[in-house]
Amino acid sequence: MAHETDPAAALHARLQARGETLATAESLTGGLLAGLLTDVPGASASYVGGVVAYATELKQALLGVPAELVAEHGVVSAPCAEAMAAGALTATGATWALSTTGVAGPTRQDGHPPGTVFVGVAGPGLLTSSRLALVGEREQVRRDTCARAVSVLVDILEGCAREEGDLR
């Protein structure tokens, strides 16, 4: 099947088998993650939508990222990625949310070098993030961020299935 070689398709298959949905909150990927997810035929059965919040003000207004969090940690941070993912859940009612924030390059942002990325995940009883140190030009960092975000959630769902004794 296609989902055996396509991580986005595998993610959708896993979500659909569980009767769950996904939303996204994107900054540095600027909608690229949503595009990757909606390239999969049948994606509408599990992907509900997302928010592209490139500007800090939109992260706060649309995703509920607290101004205090931004002031203390910055937008290129694990706490910001987690707040963005939690905000996407609240905004959409999805079961799971993925968020992306970081520096695609070519210049540093808030003292962080290009390739510094945080992927946030929010879901049932879970709010976490992963820090990535990616290499490459701007577009490569953005594409790799999307691929890694999908992989992070696939790994989480596979772990949930093992805990539940369901190896679908």
Q: Is 14 helix (H, G, I), strand (E, B) or coil?
A: helix
pLDDT tens figures, 8-33: 999 999 999 999 999 999 999 999 99
Q: How many CB atoms lie within 10 A of CB 57?
A: 12
- Domain range spanning residue 120? 2-164
What's the mean pLDDT when you consider all of the chain?
Answer: 94
Q: Tell me the C-alpha distance between 75 and 55, whole Å.
A: 10
Mean pLDDT of 56-69: 98
**Total of domains in the chain:** 1
Q: Does the pLDDT at position 94 exceed 60?
A: yes
| CATH code, 117 | 3.90.950.20
pTM for this model (two decimals):
0.94
DSSP 3-state assignment of 52?
Answer: strand
- pLDDT for 105 beyond 80: yes
pLDDT recorded at residue 3: 52
Q: In the block, which residue shows the tokens 């070519």?
A: 106
Task: Name which of 54, 38, 18, 49 is nearest 156 in CA terms.
Answer: 18
Predicted local distance difference test score (pLDDT) of residue 48: 98
Lowest mean pLDDT among 2-6, 58-62, 122-126: 2-6
Give pLDDT tens digits for 68-80.
999 999 999 999 9
Residue 87 has pLDDT above 60, yes or no: yes
CA angle 67, 55, 103 (to 5 degrees): 100
Measured CA to CA, the distance from residue 78 to residue 4 in angstroms comes to 30
Lowest mean pLDDT among 11-25, 78-92, 149-163: 149-163
